[in-house]
Amino acid sequence: MAVAALKQRPERRPALKTYHATVHVTRTEQWCVDAHSAEEAHELLAAGAGYRCEIGECINVEVERVDE
């Protein structure tokens, strides 16, 4: 009986809109690279080699702008 009463009076909510935003995210990540020494690993990582081992923790988020 209560269910039928709820169906008869639907609650009107404003429709949701999707907004796009430009967001700058600072995150700590763990990266891995295969190398013969720590110095070589440092050089390879600085040059963009390697791969992300763990995504890590988000430490800062700044919303630059929101667009409709």
Query: How many angstroms separate the CA atoms of 15 and 60, rounded?
Result: 31
- The one-letter code for the residue type at 18 is T
Query: How many angstroms separate the CA atoms of 23 and 49, rounded?
Result: 26
Find where tokens 């013969």 sit: 36
What residues does each domain of the chain span?
15-67
**In this predicted structure, what is the pLDDT of residue 8?**
65
CB distance 52 to 29 below 8 Å: yes
CB distance 61 to 21 below 8 Å: no
pLDDT in tens, 38-66: 999 999 999 999 999 988 888 888 999 89
CB distance 23 to 63 below 8 Å: yes
pLDDT at residue 37 greater than cutoff 60: yes
**In this predicted structure, what is the pLDDT of residue 67?**
87
